[in-house]
Amino acid sequence: STTYKEFRQFFEKDRALVRRFQKIDVNEPTIEDAIEIMKGLKPYFEEFHKVRYTSEAIKASVELSARYINDRKLPDKAIDLVDEAASRLRMQVDSKPEALDEIDRRIMQLKIEREALKVETDEASKDRLARLEKELVGLEEESTEITSKWQAEKQKLGLAADLKKQLDEARNDLAIAQRKGEFQRAGELAYGKIPELEKKLKEAEAQDGKAGMVEE
């Protein structure tokens, strides 16, 4: 496939190529059609980026790209939008939060100052050391709390992606079992494993929807 510009640039100038290829015009899909295309691509994006896309996000990617991106066509520009959004989300989750980074830097500064104060014997230095130790305790507790929340959020994101993958595999196994007439296996999947995975995924997605450290 190619664009009209590329066709005029490369194909129309070469009669041999024109004879060998038949030009078929493919019109840009409507917003409704583009949304359906994006829904079909959604599992591949989720598997690649290890993130989850809501139906609202998929719809918004098409509508917003159609409104604000004028130099490309659907569904390509919607694909670029969700791809970039997922990449940024992964970077935010994998990178240390700014608030935590600032606290850890402050802790390091105070520890360096503490070592210098330990060799001082004057009352002012002793008083400063006592106040510094108290501040360090508070900052280290805050750092531990934020780190715990950050790590938990990373785990939740990974859990939802893993459950989605397991659910897709289970549904595929169910289709295979039904085609082969393996009714016992199909029953175990349809009424046991798949509903359980759907329940766990719903719970994981509900947790993802709560306020976290990663900006939307």
Domain that holds residue 30: 4-94
- What mean pLDDT is reported for the chain? 85
pLDDT tens digits, one per residue of 162-202: 888 899 899 999 999 999 999 999 999 999 999 999 998 88
pLDDT at residue 108, as a whole number? 92
Apex CA 89: angle with CA 163 and CA 150, to 5°? 75
Domain boundary among the residues 77, 94, 111 is at 94
Residues 90 and 169 in one domain: no
Radius of gyration, CA atoms only, the chain: 28
pLDDT higher than 90, residue 144: yes
Domain boundary among the residues 53, 72, 94 is at 94
Q: Which has the higher per-residue pLDDT, 50 or 68?
A: 68
The arithmetic mean of pLDDT across residues 13-25, rounded, is 74
pLDDT band at 140; cut points 50, 70, 90: very high
Largest alpha-carbon pair distance within the chain? 94
Residues 122 and 85 in one domain: no
Cα-Cα-Cα-Cα dihedral of 7, 9, 10, 11, to 10°? 50
Percentage of the chain with pLDDT > 90?
51
The arithmetic mean of pLDDT across residues 24-52, rounded, is 87
Structural domain total, the chain: 2
pLDDT tens digits, one per residue of 75-98: 999 999 999 888 887 777 777 888
pLDDT higher than 50, residue 36: yes
Residues 58 and 111 in one domain: no
pLDDT higher than 70, residue 52: yes
pLDDT band at 62; cut points 50, 70, 90: very high
CA–CA dist 214, 144 (Å, integer): 17
pLDDT higher than 80, residue 208: no
Residues 157 and 89 in one domain: no
Domain boundary among the residues 94, 111, 129 is at 94
Percentage of the chain with pLDDT > 70?
91
pLDDT tens digits, one per residue of 95-129: 788 899 899 999 999 999 999 999 899 999 999 99
pLDDT band at 211; cut points 50, 70, 90: very low
pLDDT band at 15; cut points 50, 70, 90: confident
3-state secondary structure of 195: helix
- Pull the structure tokens for residue 78: 């919607």
CA–CA dist 200, 189 (Å, integer): 15
Q: Can you give the length of the chain in residues?
A: 216
Residue 70's CB: how many other CB atoms inside 10 A? 9
